Amino acid sequence: FLFLNTLPAAEKADISKRLGAGEIVAGRMQSSVPKGTAFEVPSGEIHHWWGAVLLKNTRLEKLLEFLQDYDHHAGKFADVERSRLISRDGDHYRFFFRLRRTKAIVTAYYNTDQECKYARHGTNRLSSESQAVRIAEIEDAGKAAERELPPGNDRGFLWRLASWWRFEQRGPDVLIELESASLSRDIPYVARVIPGVSSYIRSTPKESLESVLASIRQEMLKR
């Protein structure tokens, strides 16, 4: 169920120790999906990361209550400026997020429509899969001339986004794993066209994943 449990014993023990000490652990995923698949993305680059955090003295149901409150995610996650639940059908949620991602001199804003499906695995495990079904970068965000750029016809920082979550109740604590994959324009092209953005494209997926996990931990500590 957990990616952590697939790691070599020594690596698993080290990460478990770091999680118990309060760290947020993150690393790049090396395998393809499905395993053994070989493929290329013309003019694009896939960013595949995994991260985990241990929430002390937290109940799974309380965490789920927070995560599914999509009307109020804005302001509780660093990247989310606006949020709204669009619809719900059982454990299938559809919602809107306006995202703001910034690093150094580069800031990008997006209007995104996303959906998330939750699934239970016994009494102490839960998983979810989420996907951005529409991503539109915003030009001149916050100004009178603000407008959406046609999806896919923009600076190419974020073209696709999907994530897989795994939650496990461990006694009084909850372990969260977040696996995220995103698609951007390839680095060589962008480096030629827009100076200084190669580091933005390569580092932002990891930093965003860590920020999401940190925001969840902070919010659950308040509760």
The model's pTM is 0.90
State the pLDDT at residue 195. 58
State the pLDDT at residue 103. 76
- The shares of helix, strand and coil residues in the chain, as percent rounded to the nearest 5, are 25, 45, 30
State the pLDDT at residue 200. 67
Q: 15-24 long-range contacts, Cβ below 8 Å, gap at least 24?
A: 15/52, 19/52, 19/53, 19/54, 19/175, 20/54, 22/54, 24/51, 24/52, 24/53, 24/210, 24/213, 24/214, 24/217
Of 218, 221, 206, nearest to 51 by C-alpha is 206
Q: Which two tokens stand for residue 39?
A: 């493929």
Look at residue 190 and give its three-state secondary structure: helix
pLDDT in tens, the chain (223 residues): 999 999 999 999 999 999 999 999 999 998 777 778 887 888 888 999 999 999 999 999 999 999 999 999 999 999 999 999 999 999 999 999 999 988 767 889 999 999 999 999 999 999 999 999 999 999 999 899 999 999 888 988 899 999 999 999 999 999 999 999 999 988 766 666 665 666 667 788 999 999 999 999 999 999 8
CA distances from 3 to 15, 146, 170 (A): 12, 41, 16
Q: At what angle do helices 60-67 and 198-222 cross, to 10 degrees?
A: 130
- The DSSP call for residue 66 is H
